[in-house]
Structure 1
Amino acid sequence: MATKTQVAAAGLQGWRAKVGEAVAPPVAKRTPASEEQVRAAVGALFFALSVLYVSKTIVTAIRRAREG
């Protein structure tokens, strides 16, 4: 079974993975979090932003359909 950290890091695909890889070492050096935890946090953030984007798009589409 996957850990929470592994699930959150799964959000790192393509250019997002490059961002996570670039950000993880310097942040991990300055915080008590490990590099893996930092990558997971970045992945979770990107996932949350994607969910918000899709949600807003669906709400906008429904509103326009009702006005239509």
Structure 2
Amino acid sequence: MDAVTFGKAGLKGWRARVADAVAGPVAQRTPVSDDQVRAAIGALFLALSVMYVAKAVKDLATSR
């Protein structure tokens, strides 16, 4: 699995629409491709999701 595939795993629903809207303009202004921009956005959303779940588990564990 390469980084682009990993990053795109985080793009579902509205997150994919955001990445699609942003990828073109960013890719035109930078030396990266559309797919790389989408992968970076997807990786960011995936990391934020993991952090959210980890915080919820931590809060659950400390409330007991």
Structure 1 length as normaliser, TM-score? 0.89
Which whole-Å CA distance do the structure 1 matches of 2:36 and 2:3 have between them?
10
Q: Which runs of 4+ in 1 moved over 4 A?
A: none
Instruction: Give the CA deviation at 1:8.
Output: 1.0
- Unpaired runs of 5+ residues, structure 2, are none
Q: Provide the alpha-carbon RMSD of the alignment.
A: 0.8
Higher RCO by CA contacts (8 Å cutoff, separation 6 or greater): 2
Among the aligned pairs, what percent are the same residue?
A: 53
Q: Which residue of 2 aligns with 1:12?
A: 11
- 1:29 matched to 2:24? The reply is no
Instruction: Give the CA deviation at 1:16.
Output: 0.4
Aligned pair count reads: 64
- Unpaired runs of 5+ residues, structure 1, are none
Which whole-Å CA distance do the structure 2 matches of 1:15 and 1:57 have between them?
22
Instruction: Give the CA deviation at 1:3.
Output: 2.3
Structure 2 length as normaliser, TM-score? 0.94
Q: Which residue of 1 aligns with 2:51?
A: 52
Greater C-alpha Rg: 1
